[in-house]
Structure 1
């Protein structure tokens, strides 16, 4: 039985993984990016395994592929940096106001589980309906309505626990009103 293209690829991978990983590590700003770049390099090699030259030329071919993968990565980083700079400038020009109504409400939101906080924030800050939230989160509207009802209850409980007495009850009523879209 002869050596298959898959066998050749396995050998190419085993013989060159460390060399390509070190190549990538020496060339990226963040060493955590190197394994992803190596994976992408070998993905290209897998897809084009019929084009990989035999023997030591295969290793050299991999260096060429890795170089192109790194160049794409560098261009992507540069695009992300430029986009970040542009967004920072726009943010200064058009500041986003986040008004959760009250510091106590914000603190109570921060104490909620991420899923509870998310449905409340999408409802209040983004002014999405449960049906729209369902689409955004990949859930059914019924599940979103249930989560929203439970999240409101948990928020009310948080507010009452951390500001007991009349002040806590007033905050809970105010938060409930704000979360339902009304004014306190």
Structure 2
């Protein structure tokens, strides 16, 4: 049975590590912190491997990531740290669509409140279904729709204020 749990963890890691690392980077804007957060997510998964069939889903990993990121936000707040990118991430962290023409758009999204930024990333970059977002956030799908509508409105306001045109084919 141990081999089965370890195999399930290995499959989970191979299937979702890059996704979780990218999601962590998009939330933390810092490569080292993103790597640490992804490592912590999979550390929690490893510790819970006996429950593997029941918990090993991408929404569960996102929920763990959300908790890990929340701890990091609180740490930054106590330490008085800014939420700035400290270095350009490697290709392993950035999604393939991270082209130079999206830099301004990403900067504006990064300037949003963390809750809005998380919704925008989950919906448009990570392309999660509203049901998955609801599971991750611990709320109803209706609440996700309302929160996302408000986040999109605040994103549009920020884009207009900074004269950034996302273009017709770009993700917000």
TM-score (ref. length: structure 2): 0.42
Q: Which one has a bigger Cα radius of gyration?
A: 1
User: Which of the pair has the greater relative contact order for Cα pairs under 8 Å at 6+ separation?
Assistant: 2
TM-score (ref. length: structure 1): 0.40
